[in-house]
Chain A
Amino acid sequence: MSDAQVTREGLENVRPGREARIWSASNGGRRGEGPVDHPRSSYYGNSIINPPVWEELDIAGYLFLGGLAGASSILAAGGDLTRRPTLARRSRLCASAAIAGSLTALIHDLGRPARFINMMRVVKPTSPMSIGTWILAAYSPLNFATSASDLTGIARPVGRAAGLGAAALGPAVASYTAALIANTAVPAWHGAHREMPFLFAGSAASAGAGFGLLAAPLAENAPAQRMAMAGAVAELAAEQLMERRLGMVAESMRTGTAGKRLKAAKALTALGAVGAATLGRRNRVGAALSGAALVAGSAVTRFGIFAAGMASATDPKYTVEPQRARLDATR
């Protein structure tokens, strides 16, 4: 019965409709059992987070090229300091080409490319993309300067100094992108945020060194060979750790497109590393092939990671299950 009254004075016990009772006790005494027997895991299988709207070629390419550029700058500077002119020059040019490509990809992927300038509006430590943009803003000119002076022969000392500067920023360029993709709600990326920097740094090193093997004569490729092996090992090791850490989410890296790519990437990287170790200093062709394999391995790795992220974002289970497990653990 309602406790509403209309007395001669007017309405009494008025309560707002938002306090309406639902499925009131008048209803069959089935209270308290709680809901049962209905799909619990998702809303019509719809993804919970919105998957990235990034173009694969742009962003995966940008990740790879950034790594290649950063590592190449280091090799270039090293080659310069250790009088390995071919390695130095070719790595230098590679870095410039790569970073140019990387920037192009980044801008191309913007919904409003003309507004790239807005990246310079703020400095946001909370946004790896903001920090990255500022890094690139410093790194790219140094890079282009050293390449230009090398090609034209103008102001060589300045060019060399710029090259050293670029080399100093190289590692940052090569690895900040790890934070960039890890700092999202994408399960496969965020879940791997601890290993991703090492994976990217290693992958970058093996890519840069791989190019060194490909580009430099046997006489000059000793550092590239050693760096390639170190990078490859780091990349493969980080990937192992990452997949273990990800638990059920790792499935998104083992299956589908991502699975295929990452398997291929591992094979290429391993092959490249072994090739570099065995033929790297003996056989120009072998060195070149090993180097090519490493470059390819690094590229395919980035595309694989990208695909894994997309897969893990699209299927709600990768978002729900870890969170559900976390909750149940705390309950």
Chain B
Amino acid sequence: MGAATGGQRALTDRLTGFDLPTPRDWPVLRQLRGRDKLGRGAAVKSRGSETLTARTHTADRVVKSVCPYCAVGCAQNVFVTDDAVVQIEGDPDAPHSRGRLCPKGSASLQLTTGSSREQHVLYRRPHGTDWERLDLDTAMNMIADRIVSTRRDGWEWENDEVRTRRCMSIAALGGATLDNEENYLIKKLLTALGIIQIENQARVCHSSTVVGLGTSFGRGASSTLPGDLQNSDLIVLEGSNMAEAHPVAFQWVLEAKARGATVIHVDPHYSRTSALADMFVPIRAGTDIAFLGGIINHVITTESDFREYVLHYTNAPTIIREEFADAGADGIFSGFDPDKPGYDPTSWQYQDAFMAAASGQRDQEGNLTAQGPSGEGQSSGDARGKPELDLTLQHPRCVWQILKRHYAGYTPEMVERVCGIPQNVFKKVCRLFVANSGRERTTAFVHGVGWTQHTIGSQYIRAASILQLLLGNMGRPGGGVMAMRGHASIQGSSDIPTLFDTLPGYIPMPHAHTHHDLDEFIAGDAPDKGFWGNMRSYMVSLLKAWWGEAATAESDYCFDYLPRLTGSHSTYDTVMEQIKGTVKGYILYGQNPAVGSANAKMQRLGMSKLDWLVVRDFSLIESATWWKDGPEIESGEWRTEDLATEVFFLPAASHTEKDGTFTNTQRMVQWHHKAVEPRDEQRSDLWFTYHLGHLIRRRLADSADDMDRPVLDLTWDYPTEGRWDDPSAEAVLAEISGWDAGGELLSAYTQLKDDGSTSCGCWIYCGAYADGVNQTARRKPAREQNWTCSDWAWAWPANRRILYNRASADPQGRPWSERKALVWWDAEQGRWTGHDVPDFQADKPPSYAPPDDAVGPDALAGDDPFIMQADGRGWLYAPAGVGDGPLPTHYEPQDSPVRNPLHRQQRNPARQVYQHPDNRYHPDPDEPGADVFPFVATTYRLTEHFTAGGMSRWTPYLAELQPEFFCEVSPELAAERGLEHGGWATIVSARGAVEARVMVTDRMTPLVSDGRVVHQIGMPYHWGRNGYARGDSMNELSSMSLDPSSHIQEVKALTIDIQPGRRPRGKARDELVKRYQERAGITAETGMAP
């Protein structure tokens, strides 16, 4: 099915005609005439073969595009004939993908032109039992009506007597698969409508990366690019299944191996990545901080750190306040309030200097769970006063000493007890780290969601960051922390966020209560040193971009138009609000929470309480059809007729059917051109948002109500083009990039002003449209430029490819090593030069020492490489910004079979948990009933599928490669439980029960942790009930339990039980789960205690 795509003739098609030779070229005669006497070659060539040619050769045009699947962002050539896409291939000119594509990228022709995409709007009326057709205009108008009325009903001017000016009754989810321009318009429109519950896949995938990297280095994005891995001496893949999830980027790991680099893969499950690694280290899921802490301890105790780097570029010498008390044996830092539960981080501060995270202080007053970079937010310090340093590192309260004490307990013996890693193996890893770091060599970390999706996820990233700072690997060739992100533009949807807690460019969303005006907001949230010192310029330029003429000094640049936060409004909080009945309208943009979000049951329950739901996608995903065929319908728990939710399904346009930019995993913003117009009622999200905006504005046109001003004053005029009046994506990109009062396009964020004379939709993207040239569309072939390829597309910030690259040079500006040169100070020219654009003021000499009264960037010295940090240093110790402590500490996952051997505190005390009958947690390891869920489950992706399956389960060429949901178990566990290879297993948690085919394999290995054998079960999570390849969803088992700083869910480590055989059908399925809950003695309180 769906195989014949494009309508062009490939060899087999071309030759289906019957070859009837004329008498004179009868092959027998040709045999006699020519040299091919045996009739095996020239003599028997048919006319079909004679006239054969490739459709890539005869195509009318080749359109430059970008793969819509993962965040590697492979460049594609789209071949078009007769206005139909006939072939999609890799673009050989691309520096990052070099013309290669993985199976998903290779299937993008079938994805976009195949028969599985919906062509028409579908409508389910309240209590309706089936879909009905609806024409697009009617649907758009109905949706506009509902938004207007639901917004009015749910409007909130104040919350606890504090101005909030917002609408709590509407929420949106999705954006990582969309273009930056689409996310920009969505955030712009919905924010103007007062909607704050705007979220996307970035929340559930890498929000903790943003917190971890942001607090440590200043920017919450990958510090490097896969292509730079070729320069590494050691590559440590941990929490990443790179060869499977990012196959094309993995070519750079092989490139490094070809040059002699060593590759280590640390993972609970032996994957295709492990198969290519030099060393595979099995680890118990959820214990990476113990492992990394052990290495940190090794580095410190053996003093094998890169001391010069540590002294000058990290906050190791910084002295911390007396009030600070380390976690110690009990595992709780000072400032903990068990009633919240959560931390007041004031005691973590620097001595005599106040480092506040950008939105930390405010937020903490109201809600202690969302600190600092508050989830997707950006970190920076508010450096009031000057930190006190001890360059001897001897002061008992200096960060170095605190670090040393904190990790003293993380010994090789302890690492083995916690992680199940043999001490000799662990020591070997330590040796490799040390041997491949320092002045002459560099080590790179590659991580993915294996690290991020934990109740302590942000601290996983922090731990790696600490190690990289100690070893001097940040900002240097072959070093850094490579965050492998999963969606085509999930980095972009964090930068230009469809996220609740940030505005474009990681400016924090204002919080309620004390933010009365712009000045107070800036005063409270912006530091005075580093580039965040210019936050007012970024903010005012954003307000100008949104409210144009209306945004004047007199109107306080319409700052008051922004809705305010009162704590966490993450997608999981939104689900609870839906269940409570606060949220009545929900828009899904290419996201499938009924399969992809933790505790799928809660997701469906939330949607079942809605008045209306809008789903924009390619096909009828589970989140669109739960009301007629979801698990609750199957079990008889719900009756379709009883469900009042009104559902609109709007078919979406594909990447080949619209212009726009994706931002890939290396912060590279790439333009993809529209190849063909979308068909029938398929439309881009840019089209949807733009026209929806106009429909809403038309309805409010005559309103005098102050709540409607932001919508009516919104700048919303974009030129339209094409058959369907798509707004010009290029115009939107230009607005994002920014212009000055004279309408001149800006080239760098340093040009932004705080007086309203500049307009810029996202300050870190300023310059993406410099000189009126679409910089993101540049495609200068890799072979024609140096290895950083800065003329291919455009990267934020300021087209820098490797962040913090000032740190690749010593304090005097010379490369630490001539074999690791990246940027260096050119004394003659008096500027920084090198392979990459310097991530530093180009003309600031290494010797520059700031005057005491200096503010902003000028307050940073010539050897302060971390220019977003208020103290210009990498943070080994985070005085603010991370909700659960200044230093990563090992806590067990929410559901774990093992008692925490390192600290008395079992779980992350500040984690976010939700009390709900459908979201029960498992007992503590030593409580009675704990053994009811004796095994650890971990989840991962397969090469052949994509996330929640929306773009792969409907694509036959991919579906056939991994047709069924399966679980991977070790032979030992199979023997213990009587599981049969190829048979079925039922897997149960307190949340649900699923069935999967059993794969018995040596790739899963048991571990001994704290004296007990721990069996781990691997589960890919791609499947659902719809599509071509179907199966149960792993997320029926997972729970909503979140990391406090980023609100990311824990799905990489949970406990379950597994039994042979298929799961019960109908009611019996729920009854089975209930029985398990009873046997385990689970109550509303279980697992809730801090």
Contact = CB atoms under 8 A, between A and B. Distances in A.
Contact of B257 (A5, A13, A21, A120): A21
A7 B818 contact: yes
6 contacts: A6-B477, A20-B255, A24-B262, A121-B21, A122-B31, A122-B44
A10 interface: yes
A18 interface: yes
A4 B821 contact: no
Nearest to B264: A26
A35 interface: no
Interface string A8-32: 1011011111111111101100000
A1 interface: yes
A3 interface: yes
Contact of A15 (B43, B259, B824): B259
B258 A5 contact: no
Given A1-B435, A6-B820, A115 B18 contact: yes
Contacts of B43: 122
Contacts of B820: 5-6
Contacts of A1: 233, 260, 435-436, 441
Interface string A269-300: 00000000000000000000000000000000
B254 interface: yes
A4 B261 contact: yes
B252 A17 contact: yes
Interface in B1-36: 18, 21, 26-28, 31
Which among B28, B43, B822 has the greatest number of chain A C-beta atoms within 10 A? B28
Nearest to A25: B278
A126 interface: yes
A2 B432 contact: no
Contact of A14 (B38, B230, B251, B441): B230
B815 interface: yes
Nearest to A125: B38
B934 interface: no
A230 B193 CA distance: 101
B252 A7 contact: no
Contacts of B441: 1-2
B276 interface: yes
A124 interface: yes
Interface string B560-604: 000000000000000000000000000000000000000000000
Ordered nearest first, which 6 A-B pairs have the shortest CB separation? A17-B254, A20-B257, A122-B39, A4-B259, A5-B819, A20-B254
A324 to B, nearest CB: 26
Contact of A10 (B258, B276, B435, B835): B835
Given A2-B256, A16-B258, A122-B44, A8 B821 contact: yes
A217 B108 CA distance: 75
Contact of B822 (A6, A16, A22): A6
A15 B231 CA distance: 11
Nearest to B808: A6
B824 A8 contact: yes
Nearest to A8: B821
A35 to B, nearest CB: 14
B129 interface: no
B278 A10 contact: no
Contacts of A11: 230-231, 787
A23 B819 CA distance: 26
A123 interface: yes
A121 B26 contact: yes
B233 A2 contact: yes
Contacts of A15: 255, 258-259
A23 B822 contact: no
Interface in B778-828: 786-787, 815, 818-822, 824
Given A2-B441, A17-B252, A24-B257, 13 more contacts: A1-B435, A3-B259, A4-B233, A4-B256, A6-B819, A6-B835, A7-B818, A10-B787, A23-B278, A26-B432, A115-B18, A121-B44, A125-B38
B255 A121 contact: no
B274 to A, nearest CB: 11
B232 interface: yes
A125 B787 CA distance: 58
B255 A26 contact: no
Interface in A146-185: none
Contact of B258 (A8, A19, A115, A122): A19
Nearest to A134: B28
Interface in A174-202: none
B257 A7 contact: no
B373 interface: no
B478 interface: yes
Interface in B213-243: 230-233
B279 interface: yes
Contacts of A122: 27-28, 31, 39, 43-44
A17 B820 CA distance: 20
B443 to A, nearest CB: 11
A18 B18 CA distance: 43
B57 interface: no
A24 B276 CA distance: 10
A13 B259 contact: yes
A4 B40 contact: no
Given A121-B28, A122-B28, A17 B258 contact: yes
Contacts of A125: 38
Contacts of A24: 257, 262, 278
A20 B231 contact: no
Contacts of A126: 38, 40
Given A6-B231, A6-B819, A6-B820, A124 B259 contact: no
A162 B278 CA distance: 77
A10 B834 CA distance: 9
A121 B27 CA distance: 6
Contacts of A21: 257-258, 260
A232 B834 CA distance: 91
Contacts of A4: 230-231, 233, 256, 259-261, 478
A321 to B, nearest CB: 26
Interface in B442-491: 477-478
B808 to A, nearest CB: 9
A3 B821 contact: no
B38 A17 contact: no
A7 B440 CA distance: 12
A330 to B, nearest CB: 29
Interface string A113-134: 0010000111111100000000
B258 A6 contact: no
Nearest to B228: A6
B279 A26 contact: yes
A232 B516 CA distance: 110
A124 B835 CA distance: 64
A120 B256 CA distance: 58
Nearest to B257: A20
Nearest to B822: A6
Contacts of A22: 257, 276
Nearest to A112: B18
Interface in A43-99: none
B40 A27 contact: no
A6 B821 contact: yes
Which among A11, A122, A123, A126 has the greatest number of chain B C-beta atoms within 10 A? A122
Interface string B403-436: 0000000000000000000000000000010011
Contacts of A27: 278-279
A115 B20 CA distance: 10
A123 B43 CA distance: 11
Given A7-B821, A23-B278, A124 B38 contact: yes
A191 to B, nearest CB: 25
Nearest to B38: A126
A47 B976 CA distance: 33
Contacts of A14: 230, 255, 259
A15 B252 CA distance: 11
A21 B435 CA distance: 19
A26 B429 CA distance: 11
